[in-house]
Structure 1
Amino acid sequence: MNRTQLAHVLRSASRIAGDSDVLVVGSQAILGVRDEDELPAEATASMEADIAFMHDADRAKADEVEGGIGEFSSFHEEFGYYAEGIHIDTVVLPQGWAERLVRPNLAGAEPAEAAFLEPHDLVATKLAAGRLKDLAFARALVDVGLVDLDVLLERIYAMPAGVHQSVIDRMIGWVAAIKDANG
């Protein structure tokens, strides 16, 4: 996905939900801080944008987005990319994430006033999920210098208390292995 496609998704999600306060929480959040031509292929490979709303207690907005422009929708069929409407509570985020949101003025996203996870917070959520594609995404951002491992460790230690210690240990182990590999 590129920034133009993401702007289209954000514009559509905002209109469907009737809410301009749109949050990008998946891998495409990296497009909030960098153009696609400045990113490794692993960072823009997904054709899905994980979209949440800051005020969606009953998940109705996420469901509307999912139904309107989600996977297998006519939007997806026509454009080849789509949104996954998610509830913010389903994302495991380090404490303080909301204060670090990135709010660029993404051209063409209006009426959406999009916010994006800061790269270290984004990578922490990916490491918590621990899927192979998430680890490849995280490694690619580290390799191009968009994520500092020491800052990432701070974010790992700031994960919410509900995150199982084995997940935290796995995340710390991943960072240690990258540090060892980089000498």
Structure 2
Amino acid sequence: MMRKDKLDHLFRAAGEVTGHRRFVLVGSAVVLIRCRNIPGDMLLTPEADLYVPDVPNSDDLSDAIDANIGQGSSFHQQYGYYCDGVSPETALMPSDWSARSTLYASAGCPGITVIVPDPDDVALAKAVAWREKDKNWLTSGLRSRLLSIDAMAGRLPGMPAAAPPGREMKRRLVWLAAECELVFFPPP
């Protein structure tokens, strides 16, 4: 189960591995920074998805993260959790996601700043991926009101071209609303 202290540890380790002090956190772990009263099933992941923003060698740095503190690494074996080095294209979020992001700096990670997207933007990325684990995370977040189906629907026009077409994304939101017994009127 992921916890904030484990995230801080991963952020420090990523800083040591890459030599960088600024990261973007994407994926399910964003709720640890942005939300309270998080259902346990939303934290069952042993990983955090992280990348170094605004650098030309982002993929090389993500590879270094994977090799040193990623799945199967000695770090993972020692601590039981790990960091996935991802790219800016991994989480397909609305084009204006950064306008809703916050900066996280923990006393446990001096000098490290993490850009943390809004959970509803990450939720849309999970609706794009649409794996079983993503559906479970989304339904738990919607049932607990950590996520908003209406906010997600309102951000659909800003989704990148690589995301499924708008009609398919609306269909997925309708499915989520029905699964969570939410009243939802998708936009035309």
TM-score by length of 2: 0.88
Counterpart in the other structure of 1:154: 154
Letter in 1 for 2:28: S
Structure 1, 75-84 or 145-154: larger mean CA deviation: 145-154
Letter in 1 for 2:136: A
Counterpart in the other structure of 2:186: none
The DSSP-based 3-state class of the residue aligned with 1:151 is helix
2: CA distance, partners of 1:15 / 1:89: 23
Counterpart in the other structure of 2:69: 69
**1:1-183, aligned counterparts within 5 Å?**
1-34=2-35, 38-58=37-57, 59-165=59-165, 167-178=168-179, 181-183=181-183
RMSD: 1.8
The answer (yes or no) to whether the contact 2:39–2:140 under 8 Å persists in 1 is yes
Percent of pairs with identical residues:
27
The answer (yes or no) to whether the contact 1:13–1:69 under 8 Å persists in 2 is yes
Summarize deviations over 1:106-146 as a string: whole Å, max 9, x none.
Answer: 33123321111211101111111001111111111111111
The answer (yes or no) to whether the contact 1:33–1:104 under 8 Å persists in 2 is no
Summarize deviations over 1:24-59 as a string: whole Å, max 9, x none.
Answer: 101111111135xx2101211000101111124331
Deviation at 1:167, TM superposition (A): 4.0
The answer (yes or no) to whether the contact 2:149–2:173 under 8 Å persists in 1 is no
The DSSP-based 3-state class of the residue aligned with 1:92 is coil
2: CA distance, partners of 1:91 / 1:175: 19
The DSSP-based 3-state class of the residue aligned with 2:24 is strand
Gaps of 5+ in 2: 184-188
Cα gap change, 1:151 to 1:72, in 2 (>3 Å): same
- Which structure is higher in RCO with an 8 Å CA cutoff and minimum separation 6? 1
1: CA distance, partners of 2:111 / 2:85: 17
The answer (yes or no) to whether the contact 2:128–2:164 under 8 Å persists in 1 is no
Letter in 2 for 1:11: R
The answer (yes or no) to whether the contact 1:14–1:111 under 8 Å persists in 2 is no
1: CA distance, partners of 2:16 / 2:123: 29
Deviation at 1:176, TM superposition (A): 4.4
Structure 1, 67-76 or 161-170: larger mean CA deviation: 161-170
Question: Of Structure 1 and Structure 2, which has the larger fraction of its residues in helix?
Answer: 1
**Residue correspondences, number:** 180
Letter in 2 for 1:16: V
Structure 1, 51-60 or 87-96: larger mean CA deviation: 51-60
Structure 1 runs of 4+ with >3 Å offset? none
The answer (yes or no) to whether the contact 2:123–2:138 under 8 Å persists in 1 is yes
The answer (yes or no) to whether the contact 1:71–1:83 under 8 Å persists in 2 is yes
The answer (yes or no) to whether the contact 1:156–1:171 under 8 Å persists in 2 is no
2: CA distance, partners of 1:10 / 1:50: 10
